[in-house]
Structures are given as C-alpha cells and as structure tokens.
A = this chain, B = another copy of it.
Amino acid sequence: MLTSDDLDQDMLHELRETAQQLRVDSVRASAAASSGHPTSSMSAADLIAVLLARHLRYDFADPGAPGNDHLIFSKGHASPLLYAMLRAVGAIGEEELLGYRTAGSPLEGHPTPRLPWVDVATGSLGQGLPIGVGLAITGKYLDRLPYRVWVLCGDSELAEGSIWEAAEQAGHSGLDNLIVIVDVNRLGQRGPTRHGWDTGAYAARFRAFGWHALEVDGHDVAAVDRAFGEAASHSGGPAVILARTRKGRGVAAVEDREGLHGKPLPDADEAIRELGGIRDIRVSPAPPAPAPAVARASAAVAWRPPAFEPGSMVATRTAFGQALAALGDARPEVVVLDGEVSDSTRTEFFAQAHPDRFFQFYIAEQQMVAAAIGMQVRGWIPFAATFAAFFTRAYDFIRMAAVSRASIRLCGSHAGVAIGQDGPSQMALEDLAALRAVYGSTVLCPCDANQAAWLAGAMADLPGVSYLRTSRGDTPVIYEPGERFLIGGSRVLRSGPDDKVTLVAAGVTVHEALAAADLLAEDGIPARVVDAYSVKPVDVLTLRAAARETAGIVTVEDHWPEGGLGDAVLSALTVDGGVLPSVRKLAVRSMPGSATPAEQLRMAGIDTGAIATAAAELVTGHRA
C-alpha cells in the first residue's frame, strides 16, 4: 500500500472524484426513493473515498473471507453512502442502487445483513461502535487474525452512553485493531449538536478513556489519508479520527444548513450537475490480509450435560453455569460474556474452565450484548449472562440483534419475586414479555437443573435471539439426567383420563403447580400439570389438547400478567381462531417489596394455595 507521502496530484484528484461519485450516487439513490439521508452521506463521502481506495483491506467478491477488514456504518442513516460505495467497488449495479428503499430491495433505509457486505444492522444510533468493539475483541482475542475494524460514527450519536461503554471497553482491552471515524458534521436531526465542530471536546473525552485521537479536516483527502494511516498503525489501543465536515457538502443549496436532515435534495438534477455529474469510477480496495479460514466444529458435536440427581435441590442458574462449562469442552466456538455478576449467574464455572473464551464487560450490559452480536458475526457462539432484570438495559440492542439476524444467547438469572429479600429492582418481572416480543426469539424457562442444563446446550444451535430464564433459589430436581427437551415442547407432569383442570406453569411455579395438584387430588379434582418450559415457541398441541380434555386452564407465572406465559398460552389457543376454553391467569399483580421467597410467592398469589383455589373455582364455577 502507498504511504501518504506518495499521494501525488493524480491520486488526490482520483480520491476527490471518487468522493464526488459517492455524493452523486447518494443523491441519486435518495431522489429515486424520494426519501433517505443524502446530506448525512455527503458529509462523509471524502472519508469513505479515502478509506476505500487507500486503507480498507477487503475482497468484495468474497465478503466472508476471514482476513477481510470489517466496516460498520454506526450512522446507519448514511446508507446511501454505503450503497454508493458498493457500486464504486462493483458489488452492486446501477439498477440495484436506484431500487433503494423499495419493496423487496435489500438496500433498506438502514443497512441490514440482507446484504452480504453488511455485518450487522444499524439505524439505532450508538450501536455500531459497541458492536465493532465486539468484532475487534474477536479479531484480537478469538480469531487472532490481522483484520481491522473500521466504524463510521456520526457526531450526534456520541451522546449515547453505549458509545462510552464501548470507549471504556476498547481502551481497557487495548483494541489497536479498532479505528473509529467520526463524521463531525455538527448538525443533528433537529439542529446543531451539543459540541458543534468542537472536535477537541470529543478528542479530550476519547483520550480520557485511553484512545489515540486525531482531529482532521474531513474534506481534505490528503489530511484524512495521513490520519487514517496514523490511526491504523497506532499500537496498544484504539484510535479515533474526529473529522470536521459539512453536512450536504458540495451542494450549496443544502450544505451546512439546518432543517434538511433525512430529506432528499430539493433539486437532485441541479445538485448532480453541481457535483460534476454521474461518474463510473471503479475502486479496487487492497486485498484482505492472508488469513486461514477458521475451522468450526459441526453443530452435531456431542456434549455431556452435567447430571443432577432427582430429588436433590439445585438452582437452575447453577445447572446453567455447569452446563456452559461442559458445553465449552465440546464446543470450542462457545464464548461467554459477563456483566460483572458471574458468581450470581454462575458463568464463573465457564470462566474457570475456559478463561480464554470468557470476557468481562463489567456493569455495561449494552456493551456486553453488543459484543455478543459482534462475536457471532465471525461464527462464534456467544452466551451473555446477567441478572434477568438487567437485560432491560440492553433491550434496544436485543431488538436490533433480531434485525441483524444475529444468533445470540442470553441467560438471565434471579427471575421473579422468588428471589425474595432483594426487592423489585433485582426481580425480572417483564423479561418474558420483552423477550417474547423480539422477532424470531426463543424463550426458555426451565424448572429444574437437568432441564436447565439440557436447554443451555440446545441454545448453542438455535438461530436468532434465544433467552434462558433461571432462578436464584434451589428447586427440586424432577427430571432424569440426560433427558431431552425439545424447543417448542412441554412436559405433561401429571395427567389422567379424568383430569378436570390443567395447570400450566414454568420455572419455579412448576413446583407450586405440582403441590397444588396434590391438594386438588385430595379434594377429588384430578389436575393435569404442564411444564411449559418453552414459553416461545409454546407447545400449541399439548395446550390445545388440554383445552379440549379438561374444563379449564390455570396459568401461573412469576411475572407481571402482561405478555408472559399466560398470554403465550392464550395466544396458542387462538392459533386457528377456534373457540377458547375457560382460562384463569395467575401472575404477579402488585408491586413486591422484600420478603422471603415463600412469602413472596404467597403474597403474589402464585403459590400452591392460590393455584389450587383458582383451579377449584374454575372447575366448580364459583369463587371460594
């Protein structure tokens, strides 16, 4: 590769012309779509032209090549620039470019991995950088390959806390394979940003977090080239280039003007003329660094889940942790991410067994989930764990993981009021609702140790976002070691030809339901008990059979009434729009405080007595 000293006038001209082409194509794509963000693309065109022609090492014909650099548009609304770039390298053609934002086109309003050159979806600002940190960790500590991770950020998104979680993590992890380019065009959506063109303000912040920071005129291609070269060769830590730019650069009618965010140019034809017209420059980036393909074990590798003796008392979180450690023996792609609670979630067992595949993110749940998304880009199998309640902190990242078609595994411990004394701040009572409402997600809620262990292993091969809810307290082991549990299945724990009512439970409430069935049996009411460990997908056939064969269904969950197990059951019963049975939904309906686990379950009305009472009422048709 040329050094910047070699940048002669021809090359400077070529870079400027490439930038103009990127601008023109951004304008054209947005004009064709009658929507989009051309002005936010135009500010960064010189930056991307220089990156593409002089610094990126990437084979666009082979986007999966292990040595390829990674480029993330954290400012995903600059998608016209990304697509203009793809035309410049010959990855897409004219027709595809001008199909931007139309139905069926993979050139969506914001980038998604429907395009093979896009690693992850962006568009929710502040996510691309923490995901890039995950990718850089992957390159340095897992793949151990020389690829670099380039992230294009907007200045507005530097207000997001997730950016500073990433800054801290990257500085602390010494990620000198990470180079962040900030397009400081000083204008946000509705007006000026907080710091305008004060790149020094941003530089001071990044430096405080241990970064190498450079300030540059983002329209001076020679200066940009020098800065990129310096950033890429900086060792020991991450680098950031703070580039002063002008939004809408190159077209006087829009350049550096407020009120034009996210709008096509008022006169595209005139703008294209002003930018020098349509060009067909083809840019050939440098090839990727030589890198061996990383061998991945097949999904069929056998693993041996830990065995827990039926009748013993074991917390599902403990079983999860032990299972993860065992899974790590069989599956070298399994990696584990901690939010500084590994002693609680029990990922500490994995940390002890596989310290090289265990990553500490401290109390930064957004960065933890983002890193998991970054790691799976390169084929690793990440499990991220914290208290179930604290995944709410990363909910936007989980939502976007689905848009990224990312396969990540989340384990939330300490679910529900059953945790007892710690009180509501530590109790996940909305996790089932939140995780069910993620596209393509799997939501699992085991009630015993052998089940938790098996499901943890099954998650390794699940596509999409999967979630395992574990409990703090010990619960009886009721299944045999090695028993298999299908995703989308359930276990009918009690049933008989005369069942009058069905109790559907998951997690800790399974044990309450079993005890309730005993009470009901004493009263002459045979009750079926269903362990609905797979909350999504839920076992529709078993539930519909119960609806046909018993007089009613009682659902019971350690969760708010909205969006959890009860709603999943109700929804399953409507799959074909048929007539539904009597259903009674037990859930947590008042704000808990501190109390013992048993008191909590009783006060919430989800314990043995409450279940038995509700079931008896449903059968007899009147309230006790």
* Interface residues in chain A, defined as those with a beta carbon under 8 Å from any beta carbon in chain B: 33, 35-36, 76, 100-110, 112, 114, 121-126, 156-157, 159-165, 168, 172, 188-190, 193-194, 204-205, 207-209, 259, 261, 338, 340-344, 348, 361-364, 366-367, 389-390, 392-393, 395-396, 399-400, 402-403, 420-426, 429-430, 433-434, 436-440, 536, 552, 560-564, 566-568, 570-571, 573-574, 577-585, 591, 593-596, 599, 603, 614, 617-618
* A-B contact sample (6 more), CB < 8 A, given A400-B425, A570-B574: A101-B421, A108-B594, A114-B593, A159-B168, A190-B338, A430-B438
Q: Given B425, B560, B599, which contacts A439 in the complex, CB threshold below 8 Å? A: B560
Q: Once the chains bind, are A205 and B194 in contact (CB under 8 Å)?
A: no
The 15 listed contacts between A and B (C-beta, < 8 Å) are A35-B421, A102-B594, A126-B363, A159-B361, A161-B364, A164-B165, A194-B362, A205-B208, A207-B208, A390-B396, A436-B562, A561-B571, A574-B583, A574-B585, A577-B618
Known: A571-B566, A571-B567. A423 touches B110 (CB 8 A): yes
Which 8 A-B pairs give the minimum distances between C-beta atoms?
A: A161-B161, A123-B425, A563-B563, A580-B580, A433-B437, A103-B595, A164-B164, A208-B208
Give Cα A126 to B112, complex, Å.
31
Known: A103-B594, A122-B425, A390-B124. A363 touches B574 (CB 8 A): no
Q: Given B114, B261, B421, which contacts A33 in the complex, CB threshold below 8 Å? A: B421
Residues in B neighbouring A361, C-beta threshold 8 A: 159
Residues in B neighbouring A573, C-beta threshold 8 A: 580
Q: Given B163, B364, B593, which contacts A104 in the complex, CB threshold below 8 Å? A: B593
Q: Once the chains bind, are B103 and A596 in contact (CB under 8 Å)?
A: yes
Give Cα A395 to B433, complex, Å.
12
- Across the interface, name the chain B residue whose C-beta is closest to A160: B363
Q: Once the chains bind, are A362 and B562 in contact (CB under 8 Å)?
A: no
Q: Once the chains bind, are A123 and B426 in contact (CB under 8 Å)?
A: yes
Residues in B neighbouring A393, C-beta threshold 8 A: 124, 126, 160, 395-396
Give Cα A11 to B100, complex, Å.
72
Give Cα A579 to B422, complex, Å.
39
Give Cα A618 to B579, complex, Å.
10
Q: Given B208, B395, B402, which contacts A204 in the complex, CB threshold below 8 Å? A: B208
Residues in B neighbouring A433, C-beta threshold 8 A: 433-434, 436-437, 562-563
Known: A436-B563, A567-B567, A599-B103. A168 touches B190 (CB 8 A): no
Known: A190-B348, A583-B577. A101 touches B594 (CB 8 A): yes
Give Cα A438 to B101, complex, Å.
35
Residues in B neighbouring A578, C-beta threshold 8 A: 582
- Across the interface, name the chain B residue whose C-beta is closest to A348: B190
Give Cα A571 to B190, complex, Å.
41
Residues in B neighbouring A399, C-beta threshold 8 A: 389, 392, 430
- Across the interface, name the chain B residue whose C-beta is closest to A399: B392
Residues in B neighbouring A204, C-beta threshold 8 A: 208
Q: Smallest distance from the beta carbon of A443 to chain B beta carbons, Å?
A: 9
Q: Smallest distance from the beta carbon of A612 to chain B beta carbons, Å?
A: 14
Q: Smallest distance from the beta carbon of A52 to chain B beta carbons, Å?
A: 24
Give Cα A36 to B103, complex, Å.
56
Give Cα A107 to B197, complex, Å.
49
Q: Smallest distance from the beta carbon of A472 to chain B beta carbons, Å?
A: 11
Give Cα A273 to B451, complex, Å.
47
